[in-house]
Structure 1
Amino acid sequence: EQSETIALDPRPGFVVKTKIVDAPDVQLIARKVFINICHESKVPRPQIDFEPEKVFPLIIDNQWEIPMIVSVQKEENDKKGFPSFVLDCCINSVCFQWCQVNADLRSILIEWSIECVEILHGYVLERQYTIPKMMSKGQLSQTEVPVSELTASALQEKWNKLKSNETLGLIEALNDPMDIDEGEVDNKPLPNLMNISGTPNAQKQKILIEEIPEKHIKSVSKIEEIVETKPTSKLQVSKKSEIPIEPTRYEFNVTYTPFPENHDSQLLVKFHSEQISSGSDLDVFYVPSIHSIRIVNLSAKHYFTKGSKEDYVDLPLAEEVIVDTKVKSAIVIEDNTLYIL
């Protein structure tokens, strides 16, 4: 006996354009991927409605996500006639409205859609995505979904199973600008992922590529060529120069955003610097003796105090702020920001 299904009739929203930077089949590398972010009222919503001051801390703790249904992968030609992949990521229409109103949530939704496509198809997508001036790439799919799966809990369970089977390799961030077509705006600034105050900041995007030896990262100012050899070979990176990079001083700004009295945390500290380029650049801990958050520099490319053996900066806290000895923190690369709870 076949289970009852419902055909989704999604409405167009916007398009995310990226490309494959790593895949088991090397012939797919550099192929463009278009992700249609669309919406339909039948797709379930999260159990908790979106309120920035409540939901952003839950997102940091991986306790809140927007349910998403992904279509089958379609093949279409891009503007230049080259083959590309097209997928539809469909969310609830109310959730789509949340993302249209809140630019931070929109950025997080884009990251979730990219991750979802990666896990489903086993390749790695570039994070230096662009937003073409189109509401959809091609015709949206009317995906049929079993009624039993059209609940937030069912979708979350399926998503967790997919993530548990994920076998994507380790990757490193690397600059390599995409070619621009499809009418998108080049270098379009994207909003902060979790700027609760709503103040926009320009961002630098990172792309992803296979592991790079540490000596290359430290000594090479620019890695330019990705050379594909035989089908059985992996990606090779050729370096063209070995000009030492002079470390630069961190330029940063810090904002403190208080949470409501009934929230688990009292304060969200946002440390923003355009020089943050990796999740391993900084370490964070609380110093009780001076009632401050200490941010320690772990990067050889930058410094707080030049020549210092213990390179750090202390962020003083108000006396009434109570801090757990184990602070929670997360670096959002796309936002060049360290968030501390």
Structure 2
Amino acid sequence: MDFMLRPAAESSNSVVNLEPIPDFVVKSKLISTEGRPSHLLKLKANTKAFINICHHDEVPKPDIEFTSSVVYPLIMNNQWEVPIVTSSVREDTDKKGAMCYVWDCCINTDCMGWISDDLQLREIVIEWCLESCELSDVVGISREHIAFPKMKKKGEAIPALEIHLSELTNNYQENIAKAAEAEDDGPSNILRMKRSLLDDEPSGLLGNADDDELPPLIPSNKQSGGPLIEEIDSLRIADRQENRHQATVELPELQFDVRIRKTKDTEKFKLRIEVSSQINSGSDLELRYNPQENALEIKNKNLNVYKEKKLHIPLPNIFSESDISRMQSFFVSKDSKLIIFI
């Protein structure tokens, strides 16, 4: 649930003025202004963009306190989110005097503590903030140039913001349920980690993907020359039982794209696996661990839409049984991506 805020103007009994407390800054650049109304401030693409991630105890927070084992399944079912209040964009200058754009995203103070302690939740909330800025001002912000400068805020001071009391007391759980039922594409539809936010920033949360690719860690338990990660088309097995029912419509082929890398937070998770495909719902995928082969196995279940495809991902011999039991996975509907942390 996101609120679009304006700088505080005249006071009103129905309005609360918030003084956001800055915590950290996300830096990127504007890549698109397509569709932005002409009467609004004209923005230029390829211009630096800064988002002040702030907090305030009057911003609503979820009814359920954050506990990873409880909350992540709720997130997957669009039943839990961190409310965000978002300012309108404003102009500023960078340290070289060049023009840049700034937004403020404010969450509840307790929620800021949660994302400071939990790597995955922090990454998800950063993505929600980016999307909230994009939606509030009809822009596109690059996910390929994310950085985290060593500052608590961009600008001399963060302007006071106002929010209507009705929004502070709004039943956000009811809004989530309605959005999920309507398959809302707005920011309240939770799992939207469009890309790894930190791929190109060495000082980021998860590190640089090029430096952390994992093929050297994967055991060579396949025949020489064979692929480590295999796609298995079940239609090749006995011709799918001699073309059962003699189907007249040829279903499209499902393609899996797998990306594996280490994480920097090795005390909690050692490995991040991203599996992209044409699938757009997590309920259409089955994920299981094969202990005999020390491998993850993924297959699609929507056989009325795509041919059955199986994916076999051997794991490095660095994981204990307890590591596998703590494995967590999330499905990003908009990106058609399954994300697995081990």
Superposition TM-score, scaled by structure 1 size:
0.55
Compute the displacement of 1:272 (Å): 3.1
1:149 equivalenced with 2:170 (yes/no): no
Corresponding position of 2:325: none
Q: Return the match for 1:49 from 48, 65, 83.
A: 65
Counterpart residue type for residue 209 of structure 2 = K
Q: Return the match for 2:74 from 37, 58, 63.
A: 58
Q: Return the match for 1:5 from 5, 15, 21.
A: 15
CA distance in structure 1 between the aligned counterparts of 2:116 and 2:14, rounded to whole angstroms: 32
Query: Which secondary structure does the structure 2 equivalent of 1:63 belong to?
Result: coil
Compute the displacement of 1:53 (Å): 0.8
Q: 1:204 to 1:72 in 2, by over 3 A?
A: same
Contact 1:270 1:339 in 2 (8 A): no
Counterpart residue type for residue 312 of structure 2 = Y
CA distance in structure 2 between the aligned counterparts of 1:38 and 1:173, rounded to whole angstroms: 23
Contact 2:59 2:108 in 1 (8 A): yes
Structure 1 gaps of 5+ residues are: 167-171, 179-185, 192-201, 206-247, 254-268, 298-308, 319-327
Corresponding position of 2:229: none
Structure 2 gaps of 5+ residues are: 1-11, 37-41, 187-193, 211-256, 263-268, 301-308, 316-320, 322-328
Corresponding position of 1:279: 276
Corresponding position of 1:312: 312
Q: Return the match for 1:118 from 134, 149, 159.
A: 134
Query: What does the per-residue CA deviation read over 1:123-162, in whole Å, with 9 as the maximum and x for residues that have no partner?
Result: 211113111100001111211111111035259849959x
Contact 2:258 2:276 in 1 (8 A): no
For residues 90-109 of structure 1, what are the structure 2 equivalents within 5 Å?
A: 90-109=106-125
Contact 1:67 1:156 in 2 (8 A): no
Query: What does the per-residue CA deviation read over 1:22-76, in whole Å, with 9 as the maximum and x for residues that have no partner?
Result: 2217962211111100011111110100001111121222221111111121110
CA distance in structure 1 between the aligned counterparts of 2:168 and 2:48, rounded to whole angstroms: 30
Of structures 1 and 2, the one with the larger relative CO (CA 8 A, separation 6+) is 2
Counterpart residue type for residue 20 of structure 2 = P
Q: 1:64 to 1:165 in 2, by over 3 A?
A: closer
Q: 1:107 to 1:156 in 2, by over 3 A?
A: farther
1:204 equivalenced with 2:204 (yes/no): no
Corresponding position of 2:31: 21
Q: Return the match for 2:298 from 292, 295, 299.
A: 295
Corresponding position of 1:134: 151
Query: Which secondary structure does the structure 2 equivalent of 1:59 belong to?
Result: helix
CA distance in structure 2 between the aligned counterparts of 1:285 and 1:78, rounded to whole angstroms: 47
Contact 1:16 1:37 in 2 (8 A): yes
CA distance in structure 2 between the aligned counterparts of 1:339 and 1:51, rounded to whole angstroms: 18
Compute the displacement of 1:6 (Å): 0.6
Compute the displacement of 1:85 (Å): 1.2
Compute the displacement of 1:106 (Å): 1.3
CA distance in structure 1 between the aligned counterparts of 2:175 and 2:277, rounded to whole angstroms: 30
CA distance in structure 1 between the aligned counterparts of 2:174 and 2:102, rounded to whole angstroms: 23
CA distance in structure 2 between the aligned counterparts of 1:90 and 1:310, rounded to whole angstroms: 42
Query: What does the per-residue CA deviation read over 1:142-191, in whole Å, with 9 as the maximum and x for residues that have no partner?
Result: 11111111035259849959x9576xxxxx9799x98xxxxxxx522414
Q: 1:91 to 1:187 in 2, by over 3 A?
A: same
Query: Which secondary structure does the structure 2 equivalent of 1:95 belong to?
Result: helix
Query: Which secondary structure does the structure 1 equivalent of 2:286 belong to?
Result: strand
Query: Cα RMSD (Å) of the superposition?
Result: 4.9
Compute the displacement of 1:280 (Å): 2.1
For residues 186-205 of structure 1, what are the structure 2 equivalents within 5 Å?
A: 186-191=201-206, 202-204=207-209
Superposition TM-score, scaled by structure 2 size:
0.55
Q: 1:295 to 1:188 in 2, by over 3 A?
A: same
For residues 211-222 of structure 1, what are the structure 2 equivalents within 5 Å?
A: none
Counterpart residue type for residue 35 of structure 1 = I
For residues 162-173 of structure 1, what are the structure 2 equivalents within 5 Å?
A: 164=184
Query: What does the per-residue CA deviation read over 1:90-149, in whole Å, with 9 as the maximum and x for residues that have no partner?
Result: 111111111112222111111110011111112211113111100001111211111111
Q: 1:88 to 1:285 in 2, by over 3 A?
A: same
Query: Which secondary structure does the structure 2 equivalent of 1:28 belong to?
Result: coil
Corresponding position of 2:250: none
Contact 1:45 1:152 in 2 (8 A): no
